[in-house]
Amino acid sequence: MAASKNNAGSASSSSKFEVFLSFRGKDTRTNFTDHLYHALLDAGIHTFRDNEELLMGKKLVPELIDAIEQSRISIPIFSENYASSKWCLNELTKIFECKNTTGQVVLPIFYIIEPSAVRNQTGSYSEAFERHQTCYDYTTVQKWKEALREVGSLKG
């Protein structure tokens, strides 16, 4: 993931983001997330979001990891299909790690989904994990579930 070319700058190690947005593009990119992103920029808040040019791979790219680590606040936007994306779950795992190691502030948003569905992995989240368990190792899936449980328990 790379930061948008406009006011967000780039995700280089010299950048410092105030906010990192984690979201499932097909659910919220062109509506809620876009409005939130522009409102943050208009308020002068240096915000990271991907620019739809994500190169698919198994691991989070270094720029994405740097953006998460350098952000003071992370905002995961949980939506119906968030848990179906390994990218979203990997981002959330890194966000959860930063929350616990550096005290990063995490402000979850529950977009047309109940917090309990995220926290308890029910509904579409349960279905996503049924698929993930056939494709990914036990440890990875458990890390994703733990991150969802913990971050899903935060007041949104």
Q: Which of 18, 52, 69, 91 is catalytic?
A: 91
Cross-strand bridge partners of residue 128: none
Name the nearest CA neighbour of 4 among 31, 32, 37: 37
Mark whether 91 is an active-site residue: yes
C-alpha of 31 from chain center: 16
Please give the radius of gyration of the chain, using alpha carbons only, rounded to the nearest integer: 15
Cite the active site residues. 91
